[in-house]
Chains A and B, each alone.
Chain A
Amino acid sequence: MKTIIALFLSIQLPFLLTAQVSDLKALKIIEEIDKNMFSKTQIVTSEMIVYGKRKKRIIRSRSYSMGKENNFTEYLFPEREKGTKMLKLNERLWIYSPTTDRTIQLSGHLLRQSVMGSDLSYEDMMEEKRLSEVYVAKIIQEENYNESPVWVMELVSKVEGLAYHKRVLWVDKNKFVPLKENLYAKSGTLLKTTTFSDIRKINKRWFPMKMNYKDVLKDGKGTDFIILDVSFNSKIPEGYFSKNILKK
């Protein structure tokens, strides 16, 4: 009996150890991604290019975020959207419309609606959780993507209530930034793909300045999200994350 157990362990142990090392490596990688992508505060001026069936629209906005709970966005352009504000505090989202002087709160399944006809949902805009905190990662392959060596990683959620149960990431081995991401529902259905490009070094971190979000359930070529300006860890006044900011 002892011989059998010893034989079994001698065969299995190297595999178990390798798997554990691989999981640790995967965790390290997504922690590095988090370091690049997340910061205590972030101020981003961006343009969202929505490719409609008949014409494309460019929507410019400035977002202020603090941690993973607080986000305030003000739309700057075009005229129709100018002055519209969105505030996210924890799991709640409010939208303010200057034309009606109304503040509307969105919750539940309404958060899955598209933002301004784009391929992004309110849930996508709101989700700012660090990958390492909510997903269990493993490396499933190593290959080249767009001439860059990448790890292909599978992330499965370890907490309930995430917008995407599973993510498959193509992570640049040199910059620790995802170059492509496939997002899946719990059923295994592919919901969205995101490609990241124009990766620049800003304040010692690599950061993608252009993203293309594609809702696979929709026609068209997706929505481009171009970052015009980004600043990390800058001071944001407390008042930006209060409901009073909406009507100011």
Chain B
Amino acid sequence: MIKFIIRGILRDKSKSIIPIAVISVGVMVTVMMSGFLEGVFSDVINQNAKLDTGHVKIMTKPYAENKEQLPNDLALLGINELIDSLNLNYPDLIWTPRIKFGGIMDVPDASGNTKLQGPGIGLAISILSEESGELQRLQLNKSLKKGRLPKRSGEIILSDNYATKLNISPGEKITFFGSTMEGSMVFQSYEMTGTVEFGSPLMDKGTFIIDIRDAQNMLDMENGTGELLGYFKDDKYDDQKALVIAENFNAKFQESKDEYAPVMFTLKDQNGLRESLDMGDAFSGIFIFIFILAMSLVLWNTGLIGGLRRYNEFGIRLALGESKNNVFKLLLIEASVIGLIGSIIGTSLGLVFCYYLQEVGIDISKDVANSTIIMPSVMRAYVTSDLFYIGFIPGLFSMLFGTALAGRGIYKRETARLFKELEV
């Protein structure tokens, strides 16, 4: 029967071209938008996790309350013991300390006087320890624009924009001027070994990276850190799992009278991500719903027009004794086949566009140059496995829904009046 229906669709192009075209376009847009939204949300999550939030993050309570000010005087101390205990209690996670600090980077001239200077934000990570996985996590090798990554203590890398602003090249000396955890004045000279591009306008503006040990020594933070980040070993963020871990950890310190007791936050509970991502999810759901509805209305209309055009055909079939249910059933099967063809074409086109957006992306760096949140400078789509079937849901459903609405007319036909109507 399917073969018969397909042959009918192929032979009578007037009843299939418009619905297939409508479904193809609709499915293509659905696949493209789903891939694009998925890509953007994933990038926002990944970039936040890698650069700032971790999958979970531990800070002291007062540090967390003032974290925008990078208050290292409120930092976590005794982190080696804390990490040992975390490894024991939460074996699914890898823990890595990070220190963020502000200060002035000063480039000297030949006589050691200030040539150029500018404020910057320092990020201290375990760059010299291979076990920490920080190099891979931050993809610093891929982000390297000039020179090389630090290999030993006393070396520093700068964001490419910052290095350009300070007119400094790899191999030159640069001095950090700032204050220690307790506020003492600190000067430290480093050799600049290279520049990186993080792909986040906020970070690319004025960030420099040094090894965590150098930062601990320089800022008088021995065995201390501003933030302790935890990453799931499979590198995938699981919100439910993270929430359970955070709840369990925080329960242990709920009654603590220590002003500097640690507190754990999940990725989504930082930087307002839960609200943003939940809103994004809701919007994509609403978008798909509205899209199915709009396509259904279009296809209903197409079905009605088709139904009118096939008024005689249905009449003859009913007059010949075919049951109304069978006519309706065949109509729905026919719609399913049309929906399937449209969905296959639409999905294929959508995947092609998604792949293009995945590889090339949309550069928004100029629009988010002054952004205060961590977000990618190039918006990309992701070709994921669900894109291969997601378009079939609206494609088939809207065609079936539209045809079902239009096909209701079949049941209104009165057999007694058929011959008169058909003027046989």
Contacts and interface: CB of A to CB of B under 8 A. Distances in A.
B57 to A, nearest CB: 20
Interface stretch (A102-110, A126-134, A142-150, A153-161): A102-110
A2 interface: no
A80 B104 contact: no
B131 to A, nearest CB: 30
Give the residue among B179, B187, B189 with the most A Cβ atoms within 10 A. Answer: B187
A118 interface: yes
B189 A102 contact: yes
A104 B111 CA distance: 12
A100 B188 contact: yes
Contacts, number: 70
Interface residues of B, number: 24
Main SS class of interface, A: loop
A106 B180 CA distance: 18
Given A100-B189, A101-B112, A103-B113, A117 B175 contact: no
Contacts of B112: 101-103
Interface residues of A, number: 26
A114 B179 contact: yes
A30 interface: no
Contacts of A52: 73, 182-183
Contacts of A110: 104, 117, 119
B187 A104 contact: yes
Given A53-B73, A102-B106, A103-B113, A81 B184 contact: yes
Interface string B183-208: 11101110000000000000000000
Interface in A83-141: 84, 95, 97, 99-106, 110, 114-118
Given A53-B74, A110-B119, A104 B185 contact: no
A102 B184 contact: no
A116 B108 contact: no
B184 A80 contact: yes
Nearest to B117: A104
A248 interface: no
A54 to B, nearest CB: 7
Contacts of A81: 184-185
Contact of A105 (B114, B119, B183, B188): B114
Contacts of A115: 185
Q: Which 3 A-B pairs have the closest CB atoms?
A: A117-B183, A97-B187, A105-B114
5 contacts: A97-B187, A100-B189, A103-B112, A106-B104, A116-B184
